[in-house]
Every structure is written in C-alpha cells, then in structure tokens.
Amino acid sequence: QQPVQSPQAVILREGEDAVINCSSSKALYSVHWYRQKHGEAPVFLMILLKGGEQKGHEKISASFNEKKQQSSLYLTASQLSYSGTYFCGTEYHYGQNFVFGPGTRLSVLP
Amino acid sequence: GAGVSQSPRYKVAKRGQDVALRCDPISGHVSLFWYQQALGQGPEFLTYFQNEAQLDKSGLPSDRFFAERPEGSVSTLKIQRTQQEDSAVYLCASSTERQGAPPYEQYFGPGTRLTVT
C-alpha cells in the first residue's frame, strides 16, 4: 500500500524552509527518504526507525510520528541544490521490502 | 567501483522484442534490488536478491519479466515480448546489508530508460 506524500509540489525561494510529509494508513516500521534529480538516480538522505529519534543531515532533518504513522522531512534555509523530487519509502514490517511514495517535487529558485 | 552502474542507459525496442538490462552493483554488496519507475512516479519494487538467491519476486508484473544474478554480483533483468506498458525507467539498487537486518541504505544506479514502440 503506497504511502501518501504532501504536498505534491512546492516552490521556494533560496533560504526559505519547507516541510514534506509522508503518511501511511498502516503501521510503519521504518521510513526512508531519498532525493532524485531529473534524469539521475535517487540518492539516500536518511532512515527513521519506529521508536527512533529525529535525525539530521546538514540542514535537512526528519521526524517519525508513530501515533500518526507519519514522517516529516524538514528542509531549512533551502539551497538551489535542494531542488529535486523527494521520495519516502516505507517499510511496514521488519525486513519487508519497502514501498515508495509518489514523490514531492521541490523547486528552489534564486 | 565508484557506484552502481547500469547498461544500456537507453533502450528502444519494438513491441514483441526481448530486452536484457544489466546491473553492476557496488562490489561486495550482498543485496540487489530492481525497481520500475514510470514517468512522474516513485520507484516500484520488482524483485530482490541476496547474493545469488532471488528471495522476493512478488513485484514482477508478469511472467514476461525474469531476473537473475547467477554469481551473486552482476544482475540481468530480462523482459520478453515487450509491450508498450513496459516503457519506464528500470532502476537497480544495491546494499551492503541482508534483508531483515537493521534498515539499510540503498545505492541506486542511474537507470535504464526503456521505450517500447
């Protein structure tokens, strides 16, 4: 069952912040975040485990809310290089292959 | 090697032709995954290998799709009698960890864009 991502697309000015959400109707074991630029391979950002704490990666961080079965990706002081499509991948059971969401297209303008 | 490589990068096939897509994972990576990505969509799981064993092929859309990894390194995804709906980008990813271990990072290749005319 595919997770839902919101928003579908967002346009920012350089230096602005953004939040991308990934939610599921089923209990999640883990959430993975990837960024894909046009015509390129998805690149790993971070993994969040059920019961784990918020993770960070430079100015990009994420949280995992077990009650809501939702993960949020926070992009702070966005840079032009942040542009791309962000996918969450959800794992419903330990060791199960995960399911990617439809993606959120982020455009950062100068 | 530097990363996961895939070949060819682009493939045009006439409907009904067979195609073979190759994936060279990062050396030493145990796990290998194939995904299909339609335009504007997220990658969809096709199949998973742990070394040479194909542990999950639940995502293969039909019996026209076949994947192998005979020596536990290079993998080939074969599509027989291609149809227009097979047009997509086929992504390969590899990982150091075994499935079932603590969650792991997947390293993706650049993909093969297949167009069936």
**CATH number where B23 lies:** 2.60.40.10
- φ/ψ region of A66 (left if φ > 0, alpha if ψ in -120 to 50, else beta) reads alpha
CB contact under 8 A, A42 and B105: no
Q: Which residues in chain A have Cβ-Cβ distances shorter than 8 Å to B48?
A: 97
The domain of B74 spans 5-116
How many CA atoms lie within 13 Å of B76's alpha carbon, on the beta-carbon side? 8
Spatial distance between the Cα atoms of A43 and A80, rounded to a whole number of angstroms: 16
Mean pLDDT of all residues belonging to chain A: 88
Predicted pLDDT of residue A65? 86
Mean pLDDT of all residues belonging to chain B: 92
- Amino acid letter, A107: S
Q: Please give the average per-residue pLDDT across A21-41, as a whole number.
A: 90
> What residues contact B37, with CB distance under 8 A and at least 6 apart?
B43, B44, B88, B89, B90, B91, B111
Handedness of CA A25, A52, A89, A81 (dihedral sign): positive
CB contact under 8 A, B106 and A44: yes
List pLDDT tens digits, range A72-98: 999 999 999 999 999 999 887 766 677
Q: Say which residue the tokens 């092929």 belong to.
A: B57
Instruction: Determine contact: A74 vs chain B, CB below 8 A.
Output: no
Distance of residue A43 Cα from the nearest chain B Cα, in angstroms: 7
Q: Which residues in chain A have Cβ-Cβ distances shorter than 8 Å to B111?
A: 41
Q: Which residues in chain A have Cβ-Cβ distances shorter than 8 Å to B58?
A: 97
CB contact under 8 A, A47 and B111: no
The CATH class given to the A4-109 domain equals mainly beta
> What residues contact A39, with CB distance under 8 A and at least 6 apart?
none
Q: How many domains does chain B have?
A: 1
List pLDDT tens digits, range B42-83: 999 999 899 999 988 989 999 999 999 999 999 999 999 999
CB neighbours of residue B16 within 10 Å = 10
